[in-house]
Amino acid sequence: MNDDNRKKLIWRIASGILSGVIMGIVYCVISVILPYFIRNALSMRYEELFRFPYEEPMFILFTMMFIALGIAITIFQKHPISVSLRLVMLILTIYLIVEGMNWGIIKTQVIYGNQYAVISIDVSLLMYMLIILILIICIFSLIEGFTRSTTEN
């Protein structure tokens, strides 16, 4: 392997890792941070609105999982396994959106006058919109991954 080929290979790996990290972060924002933000906004916990749960072990775990999946997808993008990895990412994302938005019903307690009122908000529509958005992104990404893997083989 000459120097040029080695440089190209290093560049491909580095750019693959970088785009994988970016993909992981984007998925993490859509599936973890956005539902958390919506839930806090609708629960009227405005003081916690921008305080994301960085310290929570599950949040760190999911972020790492998304980044790892993103890197794996970009590295194996020409291999059929990338299609399965994209499906895993899709299922994980939908699960986190649904769980993060409490299956579409957000409940909170607020002080109303001098008493506590229980507020229940049905945000199923917002949840379905997020799921449709992620499905559209994933379908395009699956088609792209499938096309790449079949053209390579």
Partner 1 sequence: MPLIQFSLDVLNNPEALSFKFSVIDFDVREGIVKINVTTSYRGRITLKDFKIVVMNKTLDFGDLRPGSDVSRILSVSMRDVKRLLSKGLTLEFSINGLYYVTITLPGGKYSE
Residues making contact with partner 1 (CB under 8 A): 41-42, 44, 46, 110, 112-123, 125-126
The least CB distance from residue 132 to partner 1, in Å, is: 15
The least CB distance from residue 96 to partner 1, in Å, is: 21
CB nearer to partner 1: pick between 5 and 120: 120
The least CB distance from residue 135 to partner 1, in Å, is: 20
CB nearer to partner 1: pick between 57 and 113: 113
The least CB distance from residue 119 to partner 1, in Å, is: 5
CB nearer to partner 1: pick between 11 and 116: 116
CB nearer to partner 1: pick between 34 and 142: 34
CB nearer to partner 1: pick between 19 and 102: 102
CA dist., res. 153 & res. 144, Å (int): 14
In the 3-class helix/strand/coil scheme, how is the chain assigned residue by residue? CCHHHHHHHHHHHHHHHHHHHHHHHHHHHHHHHHHHHHHHHHCCCHHHCCCCCCCCHHHHHHHHHHHHHHHHHHHCCCCCHHHHHHHHHHHHHHHHHHHHCHHHEEEEEEEECCEEEEEEEECHHHHHHHHHHHHHHHHHHHHHHHHHHHHHC
The least CB distance from residue 26 to partner 1, in Å, is: 22
